[in-house]
Amino acid sequence: MNIHYDTLKEEYLDAITNLDKLCFSIPWSKNLFASELASRFAHYVLALDGESVIGYCGIQSVAGEGSITNIAVHPAYRNQGIASTLLEQIIDYARAQKLDFVTLEVRESNINAINLYTKYGFELVGSRKGYYADNHETALLMTLQL
């Protein structure tokens, strides 16, 4: 394994789209990732094993507020600290941008992700019932004050 990290680039768009299909019930389209790449409000960090994209985390920031769009790691690479490294890089970026806080939504059943966010200091601040279109699951809102 040769894990390294890079920011999102045009050449990674197909691979990140394929990774998203593996990791989410409602994956993002390539067009959506392309619009994130073009947006000056968005920043994405990718984990790569050689040439393969095996993880990513993204943030959108506007007016001092950051919002984590997503974090995902390829199933074969989980529980090795890769999401932790991605999230640390996004939090470092948020601090460098002098954001006041970072917020996110997570499915209430997604214990692994909730544990990950809690490990990095995110706190539960609220919930949105029926937020997810596929199974009407509740979203938990979590915030990290910077």
- Type and span of the H or E element at 34: helix 30-38
Which one of 1-9, 33-41, 80-88, 126-134 is the stretch in contact with ligand COA (CB under 6 A)? 80-88
Site for ligand COA contains 115 (CB under 6 A): yes
We find the least distance from the C-beta atom of residue 14 to ligand COA, in angstroms, to be 19
Q: Find all residues with CB under 8 Å of 143, minimum gap 6, and list them.
A: 101, 102, 103, 104, 122, 123, 125
Nearer to ligand COA by Cβ, of 55 and 61: the residue is: 55
Residue with tokens 């073009």: 38
The answer to whether 29 and 10 have CB atoms below 8 angstroms apart is: no
83 binds ligand COA (CB under 6 A): yes
With binding defined as CB under 6 A, does residue 67 bind ligand COA?
A: no
Does residue 121 interact with ligand COA by CB under 6 A?
no
